[in-house]
């Protein structure tokens, strides 16, 4: 692990940060951040965040870039690179592409993320791998734990809430003014060289679930009954989590069958957690 010092913000990262800061100020979004002290000022760490909107990466990166003055490497789905709207963003941010359709590409993404961690970078991962339409956590993949274990760095659980009101899968994509957004960074989780990554992922799930419930239950605008952006568990109008989970599980089964039919192996050394393209 390289902990000689924080990686510097490049001019491209500074331009990206300026654009995001300007957009947030124009829209009047009220971003409340707690627990940033858990993000190391130097050296590598995995940032594992819940995936509920298309701008999760921006909310995770906002306090780290502004206050820690550190850039990040995001794992993102390969499709984003071909987007005329946002493809330049992932290129400028030196994001790591994840292609689930190719075993060699998945292995390459895992290797690139692990190397970045070993060199002292912060790597942000969405372990659910896709946006949860119920706004509850979907099952986490073990990629975050495996990367952290191999690189010898901690995992920082992160929970965000609020941005799904503006930009989420299947919902209206509108830029709401004066939107409150909450971001919480939790205590670091260490994954030792002999630890079971499945058990570590279960512990990460518990920590992320706790953080998510905290940000949901303390959100400044509350949890209006029937609101589409509020989980059914809190009386909201979001899809029932059990049904979302059932559909997610079935999609995963179909994908695994297609991989077997195509002759692909189920090599566990692959990258998980690419964020969704807009």
The C-alpha angle with vertex 102 and arms to 100 and 103, in degrees rounded to 5, equals 95
- What is the pLDDT, as a whole number, of residue 147? 97
User: Rounded CA gap, 2 and 101, in Å?
Assistant: 32
In the DSSP assignment, the letter for residue 78 is: G
More confident residue, 209 or 168: 209
User: Fold for domain 11-261?
Assistant: Glycerol-3-phosphate (1)-acyltransferase (3.40.1130)
pTM of the shown model: 0.89
Mean pLDDT over residues 241-254, rounded? Answer: 92
Residue 215 has pLDDT above 90, yes or no: yes
- What is the pLDDT, as a whole number, of residue 133? 95
State the chain's maximal CA–CA distance in angstroms.
Answer: 51
Dihedral over alpha carbons 209, 210, 211, 213 (to 10 degrees): 80
- What is the pLDDT, as a whole number, of residue 271? 56
Each residue of 124-176: pLDDT tens digit? Answer: 999 998 999 999 999 999 999 999 999 999 999 999 999 999 889 887 777 78
Instruction: Scan for tokens 């952290």, then name that residue.
Output: 148
- What is the pLDDT, as a whole number, of residue 101? 67
User: Rounded CA gap, 146 and 131, in Å?
Assistant: 22
Buried b (16+ CB within 10 A) or exposed e, 203-232: bbbebbbebbbbbbeebeeeeeeebbbbbb
Contacts 24+ apart (CB under 8 A), 77-83: 77/274, 77/275, 77/276, 77/277, 78/105, 78/274, 79/277, 80/275, 80/277, 80/278, 83/277, 83/278
More confident residue, 135 or 93: 135
What residue spans define the domains of the chain? 11-261
């Amino acid at each position: 692990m390289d902990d000689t010092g924080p990686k510097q913000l490049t001019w491209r990262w500074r331009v990206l940060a300026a654009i995001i800061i300007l957009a947030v100020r124009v829209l009047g979004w009220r971003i409340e951040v707690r627990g940033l002290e858990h993000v190391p000022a130097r050296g590598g760490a995995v940032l594992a965040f819940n995936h509920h909107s298309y701008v999760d990466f921006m909310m995770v990166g906002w306090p780290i870039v502004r206050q820690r003055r550190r850039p990040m490497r995001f794992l993102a789905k390969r499709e984003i690179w071909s987007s005329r709207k946002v493809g330049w963003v992932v290129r400028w941010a030196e994001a790591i592409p994840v292609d689930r359709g190719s075993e060699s590409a998945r292995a390459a993404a895992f290797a690139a993320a692990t190397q970045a961690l070993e060199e002292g970078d912060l790597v942000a991962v969405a372990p659910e791998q896709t946006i949860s339409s119920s706004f509850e956590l979907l099952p986490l993949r073990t990629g975050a734990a495996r990367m952290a274990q191999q690189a010898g760095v901690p995992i920082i659980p992160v929970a965000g809430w609020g941005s799904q009101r503006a930009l989420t899968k299947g919902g209206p994509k509108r830029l709401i003014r004066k939107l409150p957004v909450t971001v919480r960074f939790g205590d670091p989780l260490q994954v030792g060289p002999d630890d079971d990554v499945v058990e570590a992922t279960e512990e990460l799930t518990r920590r992320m679930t706790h953080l998510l419930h905290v940000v949901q239950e303390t959100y400044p605008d509350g949890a209006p009954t029937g609101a589409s952006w509020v989980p059914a568990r809190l009386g909201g109008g979001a899809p029932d989590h059990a049904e979302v989970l059932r559909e997610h599980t079935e999609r995963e089964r179909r994908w695994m069958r297609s991989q077997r039919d195509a002759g692909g192996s189920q090599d566990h050394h692959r990258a998980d957690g690419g964020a969704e393209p807009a």
